[in-house]
Structure 1
């Protein structure tokens, strides 16, 4: 029997891209699922497969009353609710991003007060020091391992902007509840997730959108030489489920693949699979491009979870393109594509 069978589970931000996939798998595993989402970026249609089998609450977790109400009587809380977007959004909305301190504080406080058995907190690779992800080969670290981001370790706390600091502080807060009160949980550092139900503010969907629009020259933000390890959403969800089951001391664990792809190569892969070959790729250095390199060390996820992602980049892109092509209105996309790149 599944670990999650008959468990009372809350997913905050459960109508989001990642959250909705997690909800679907929890329902399949036999859990009793409640979703709370304010629908500021999540969509009810993301939950179409599971809506009749879950309890859905439209509410803002920044409100203490909502955090208190939704965590009562729960065995496990998967905490995904946060103010987030693609690189364009996080570079231009710092005041909104720091509201994540409030969101995480509310969730952890009321999980503890209401004796939730376990908390799975979705952190981010943005928690890692940007100094380790620079273009300087003398400073950069090829694969980031969990101990390299630590607010109490000299040289290990230089997170990626306000969003990264909020995530690192969220990890610290969860660990503090473990230290003082014995709260059980885990922080999962997610690495460049992509897949169906994501929007154009993130690189892969933006690349697919550009290919569908037959953009020429085909625009890429930054130099195109940035490295990422794009991780398919189904793999990330499997990692979240295993993390919540197997890690209880509130440590951080990477969830990512060790398959490294340059941004320019990701764009070319998308174009190849869509069946579109632009005459030229252009590189807009005025746009946010993020850190130069970012890839997960997968050693601890294999050791602690007995798991690693299974979906290759090529296969994941094919699945994502298949979903996007069935759901996008190309004329509407053409009308507001540039605006979508900076939205949540």
Structure 2
């Protein structure tokens, strides 16, 4: 697929990953429409060259007329807070968005969708975790919703001639990121340079993927994977612990704080403390990350310090 001649809809395109994806699609010559309710994203993040529609995809009429002449959908819109106080409501909202989008796509005869899933569909799985690992047992409502959406997309692909690309993300980091460990540490150390409070025991260890690598991998998969349902892990071959992230952030801020821990082996209910995805399937498709997990964290730290300090 040549992205340059595609008319593309990006749901959630005002968010962190979505806005970076929109910028790359526009740079590659695509015509882009963004749909976002701006509950967590911002209209200011969306490039002026993109058409913007403010709408809530939980409304079944939100996409009336929006999908006319669209060739391909990137579906990123979701309630993304893993440690939510309304897990069942989040599950309902996220699956409703996907159902409404699928119905609108069917009405408009749009037959291609790329979906941002998550490593959380695996639950606490052996590492590195391949795409064919089973059984999938998510431990959060967020992960359960992602898995349910993958099921909805698979069912539609096999019954309605739909092509689906599922991206199971590791932790994605980079400029514009908020509500995650790196910006949290920067903000805490800006407020109090002497002490850093760390959720859990600091030994949580996960794979961190820079946003530029993430977007590049997404487009590589869409261009080269041709099955009805194409599920790929996106991550790095290495991991970074929370303690290591704290050390990188402190080093980049030229600080030497004491650490305080909230205790336990995870930061919150539903947190998967250890995660590393196998990217052998993606490698076989001809793509490798340019940055290791540590390098992605360090580059993102520098980018976020410039934004937040």
User: What TM-score do you get using the length of structure 2 for normalisation?
Assistant: 0.92
Residues 118 and 244, structure 1, Cα contact 8 Å, conserved in 2 = no
Q: 1:129 to 1:326 in 2, by over 3 A?
A: closer
Query: Structure 1 residue 16 and structure 2 residue 15: aligned?
Result: yes
* Alpha-carbon separation, structure 2, partners of 1:71 and 1:210: 43
Contact 1:257 1:298 in 2 (8 A): yes
Q: Which runs of 5+ in 2 are unaligned?
A: none
Q: Which residue of 1 aligns with 2:56?
A: 60
Is 1:123 the counterpart of 2:82 in the alignment? Answer: no
C-alpha separation in 2, matches of 1:119 and 1:225: 37
Cα distance in 2, alignment partners of residues 216 and 111 from structure 1: 53
Structure 2 CA distance for partners of 1:82 and 1:9, relative to 1, 3 Å? same
Aligned length: 304
- SS of aligned partner of 2:250: helix
What's the CA shift for 1:107?
1.2
Q: Could you say which residue in structure 1 is the equivalent of 2:130? A: 145
Whether 1:37 aligns to 2:30 is no
Aligned partner of 2:85 among 85, 92, 110: 92
Kindly indicate whether the alpha-carbon contact (under 8 Å) linking 2:123 and 2:138 is maintained by their aligned counterparts in 1.
Answer: yes
* CA distance in structure 1 between the aligned counterparts of 2:261 and 2:65, rounded to whole angstroms: 48
Distance 1:123 1:314 in 2: 23
Distance, in Å, in 1 between the alignment partners of 2:147 and 2:193 is 38
Q: What SS is found at the alignment partner of 2:99?
A: helix
Per-residue CA deviations over 1:197-216 (Å, capped at 9, x if unaligned) read 111x2112112222333343
Distance 2:302 2:205 in 1: 25
Q: Secondary structure at the match of 1:36?
A: strand
Counterpart CA distance in 1 for 2:301 and 2:42 is 20
Question: Could you say what secondary structure the match of 1:74 adopts?
Answer: coil
CA deviation after TM superposition for structure 1 residue 91, in Å: 4.0
Deviation (angstroms), 1:194: 1.1
The CA deviation at 1:291 is: 1.7
Residues 230, 6 of structure 1: alpha-carbon distance in 2 compared, 3 angstrom cutoff:
same
| 1:250 aligns with one of 219, 229, 244 | 229
The 5-angstrom pairing of residues 100-115 of structure 1 reads: 100-115=94-109
The whole-number CA distance in structure 1 between the counterparts of 2:14 and 2:64 is 19
Q: How does 1:205-216 map to 2 (within 5 A)?
A: 205-216=183-194
For residues 224-281 of structure 1, the C-alpha deviation after alignment (integer angstroms, 9 at most, x for no partner) is 1111001111111111112222224223110111111111111111111221110x21
| Alignment counterpart, residue 272 of structure 2, candidates 277, 291, 305 | 291
Match of 2:151 in 1: 172
What root-mean-square deviation, in Å, do the aligned CA atoms of Structure 1 and Structure 2 show? 1.8
2-structure distance, mates of 1:22, 1:271: 30
Alignment CA distance shift 1:93-1:215 (3 Å): farther
Report if the CA contact (8 A) 1:228-1:294 is conserved.
Answer: yes
Gap runs ≥5 in structure 1: 133-140, 150-155, 331-344
Question: TM-score with structure 1 length normalisation?
Answer: 0.83
1:114-172 per-residue CA deviation (whole Å, 9 max, x = no partner) reads 22241000000010033x2xxxxxxxx121111115xxxxxx13113110010001111
Partner of 2:138: 159
- SS of match in other structure, 1:67: coil
Q: Is the 8 A contact 1:274 1:321 kept in 2?
A: no
State the shift of 1:314 in Å: 4.5
Contact 2:210 2:291 in 1 (8 A): yes
Matched residue, 1:82: 78
Bigger share in helix:
1
Residue aligning to 1:6: 5
Whether contact under 8 Å (2:245, 2:297) holds in the other structure is no
Q: Is 1:326 the equivalent of 2:306?
A: yes
